[in-house]
């Protein structure tokens, strides 16, 4: 509790920069025991995305591609048509990686935060602010077993960030998270070019997910592709990854 108290509610008048504004953090004091049981819950027999999610930056915008498989421990396919990229901001998307329950809750919370920020300040959050907030939540909040890609466009240009479960926030030209990451990185490495068109980046992202789907048991069953420009977000799903590639 800070020195500044709301005299009506008795609540702290200063906010917690690591906590979501709406939706209580169930861990309360954040004591080790509760954290441990929560981590165990997200680590248990719950739906995981396994996953390969790819984000690539271009001058024109960003592209994100994700596979469509949910699995139990990567050994049983529990769902074959999961959309693992969701819009969280007028010009930004987040991928769902890790525990499905944790990732879905994370998406809902970021949406609420981005909406409140924009309506109060009359301008959208920058992608950097959104990434910082997501990192704070991953570090201090109730979301442990998540490892999303955040990709978006703002007045400063196109950005891709990875958010790790301990709250690490890293910006890059392209980034991959999920169990198929090494395969996807192998596809992108050497092919990426900072000057490439959005259409070429889209093909590269799809091919990266395709490669991971071929060999990683946690990834597969098609691809979702999100393209983000200054004008907004467009998300499409394809049961066959080949259908997502531009005709040649």
Partner 1 sequence: MQDNQQAYDRGMTIFSPDGRLYQVEYAREAIKRGTASVGGRTDAGVVLAADRRARSPLIEESSIEKLHRVDDHVAVASAGHVADARQLVEFARRKAQENRLRYDEPIDVETLAKEVTDYIQRYTQSGGVRPFGVALAIAGVDPDGTPRLFETDPSGTPCEWRATAIGGDRETLHAHLEDGYRADADLGGAIALALETLAESGEPLDADNVEVTTVDVESGRVRSLDPETIEPHLADLDIEVDDE
Among 27, 39, 78, 126, binds partner 1 (CB under 8 A): 126
110, 124 in Cβ contact below 8 A?
Answer: no
Among 125, 150, 204, 209, binds partner 1 (CB under 8 A): 125
Choose between 14 and 166: whose C-beta lies nearer to partner 1.
14
Q: Shortest Cβ distance from residue 18 to partner 1 (Å)?
A: 8
How crowded is residue 21: how many other Cβ atoms within 10 Å of its Cβ? Answer: 11
Among 7, 32, 190, 247, binds partner 1 (CB under 8 A): 7
Q: Shortest Cβ distance from residue 19 to partner 1 (Å)?
A: 9
Distance CA 136, CA 121 (A): 21
Q: Which of 49, 51, 66, 227 is catalytic?
A: 51
DSSP 34: H
User: How distant is the alpha carbon of residue 18 from its chain centre?
Assistant: 18
Rounded to 5 degrees, what are φ and ψ at 36? Answer: -65, -45
Among 62, 85, 107, 133, binds partner 1 (CB under 8 A): 133
Is residue 12 a contact point for partner 1 (CB under 8 A)? no
* Of residues 100, 84, 90, 101, the one with CA closest to residue 127: 90
* Of residues 117, 105, 124, the one with CA closest to residue 233: 124
Question: What are the respective helix, strand and coil percentages of the chain, to the nearest 5?
Answer: 30, 25, 40
Q: Shortest Cβ distance from residue 204 to partner 1 (Å)?
A: 30
Q: Shortest Cβ distance from residue 211 to partner 1 (Å)?
A: 34
Is residue 129 a contact point for partner 1 (CB under 8 A)? yes
Binders of partner 1 in range 76-95 (CB under 8 A)? none
* Of residues 60, 61, 78, 59, the one with CA closest to residue 69: 78
51 is catalytic: yes
For partner 1, the binding residues (CB under 8 A) are 2-4, 6-8, 13-15, 17-18, 120-121, 125-126, 128-129, 132-133, 136
Catalytic site positions: 51
């Amino acid at each position: 509790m800070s020195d500044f108290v709301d005299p009506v509610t008795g609540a702290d008048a200063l906010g917690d920069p690591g906590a979501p504004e709406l939706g209580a953090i169930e861990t309360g004091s954040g004591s080790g025991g509760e954290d441990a049981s929560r981590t165990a819950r997200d680590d248990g027999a719950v739906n995981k995305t396994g996953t390969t999610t790819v984000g690539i930056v271009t001058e024109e915008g960003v592209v994100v591609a994700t596979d469509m498989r949910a699995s139990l421990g990567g050994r049983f396919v529990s769902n074959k048509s999961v959309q693992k990229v969701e819009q969280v901001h007028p010009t930004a998307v987040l991928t769902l990686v890790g525990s499905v329950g944790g990732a879905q809750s994370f998406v809902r919370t970021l949406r609420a935060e981005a909406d409140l920020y924009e309506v109060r300040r009359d301008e959208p959050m920058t992608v950097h602010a959104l990434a910082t907030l997501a990192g704070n939540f991953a570090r201090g909040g109730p979301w442990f077993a998540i490892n999303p890609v955040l990709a978006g466009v703002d007045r400063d240009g196109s950005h891709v960030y990875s958010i790790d479960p301990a709250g690490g926030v890293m910006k890059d030209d392209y980034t991959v998270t999920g169990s198929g990451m090494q395969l996807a990185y192998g596809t992108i490495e050497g092919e990426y070019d900072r000057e490439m068109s959005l259409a070429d980046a889209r093909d590269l992202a799809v091919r990266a997910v395709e490669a991971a789907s071929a060999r990683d048991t946690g990834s597969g069953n098609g691809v979702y592709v999100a393209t983000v420009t200054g004008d907004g977000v467009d998300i499409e799903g394809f049961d066959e990854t080949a259908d997502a590639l531009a005709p040649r």
